[in-house]
Amino acid sequence: MSNDFDNTKPYILQVIEHQTGLKFKKIGNQYNLNPCPFCKHNDCFFVKSDNNDHFFKCQSCGEGGTVHDYIAKTTSLNLSEGLKLISDITGCQLQNTPNSTPKHKSNNIHEVIAKYYHQVFLQDAEKQKYQLQVRGHATETIKKQIIGVTDGRLHIHLKKEGYTEPESLQSGFISKENGILKDQYYPGVTVYPQIDINGNVGHFRFRNERKNKKFQLSNDYKNPEINFYNMPAFKQDHIYVVEGEHDAMSLM
């Protein structure tokens, strides 16, 4: 427990950002956050996190301490539960936890990503309603095409699945900021895996129904054999060429 206690202290920035939904701004040798999670004042709450120190402090209300103090002050979790929360948020492995052994990982990280986002989709009633009622797609089609939704926690899942930091970064879905891994795509974006002629996931398309930001996965991460959405259709006797993912799904 003591090793886990010390080893999780450096994750203070990532934990507080996750818990508050706010972003730190680095100024000099410290990270500032507005407003303070405790007193709600501005320009008073900061974190210092370097090779020697990892703590937060509010110069207005006086609250301060380590990441464990922060969790204790803002939740009802005990120390063991707090460590588990840090592990869930950051993907770090706890030495004294039975579940800390990485699973056997798949050779195709994009398959893992597609299945993870599909599970997120299956828990999102609003996204399911959009696909089923607004777009009129059949449940079996959605399942077959592995439609998914981003949730901002993919980096944690990949860590638990046994993928190394370089492997996660090379997937195109994860980036690194201030030494901390984070999802490249923010929560709530619909994911359409692109499947090759043999049924393997080799690329992705994204649709943001809010239309407030456009992005796609770079072709640098694409299986070069994928030129169209739903490549398995090329095994059929007749092929219909349509414009987009929804048009293709409506014919399935």
Average pLDDT over the chain reads: 87
**Of 40-54, 57-71, 187-201, 224-238, which gets the smallest average pLDDT?**
224-238
Cα(36)–Cα(60) distance, integer angstroms: 9
pLDDT at 97: 56
Which has the higher per-residue pLDDT, 150 or 178?
150
pLDDT at 108: 83
Instruction: Say which DSSP state 103 is in.
Output: P
Which has the higher per-residue pLDDT, 174 or 242?
174
pLDDT at 151: 93
Cβ neighbour number for residue 49 with a 10 Å cutoff: 24
In the chain, domain spans: 2-99, 109-250
The fold adopted by the segment(s) 2-99 is: DNA Primase; Chain A (3.90.580)
**Would you place residue 30 in the very low, low, confident or very high pLDDT band (cuts 50, 70, 90)?**
very high
Tell me the per-residue pLDDT of 120-148, one tens digit each, with 9 for 90 and over: 999 999 999 999 999 999 999 999 999 99
pLDDT at 106: 60
Cβ neighbour number for residue 226 with a 10 Å cutoff: 17
The yes-or-no verdict on residue 84 having pLDDT over 80 is yes
Do domains 2-99 and 109-250 share one topology? The answer is: no
pLDDT at 92: 86
Cα(201)–Cα(204) distance, integer angstroms: 8
pLDDT at 211: 64
On whether the pTM is more than 0.75, the answer is no
Cα(22)–Cα(35) distance, integer angstroms: 9
The yes-or-no verdict on residue 201 having pLDDT over 50 is yes
**Would you place residue 204 in the very low, low, confident or very high pLDDT band (cuts 50, 70, 90)?**
very high
> Of the segments 43-47, 88-92, 209-213, which one has the largest average pLDDT value?
43-47
Q: What percent of the chain has pLDDT over 90?
A: 49
Domain 109-250 is found in CATH 3.40.50.720: no
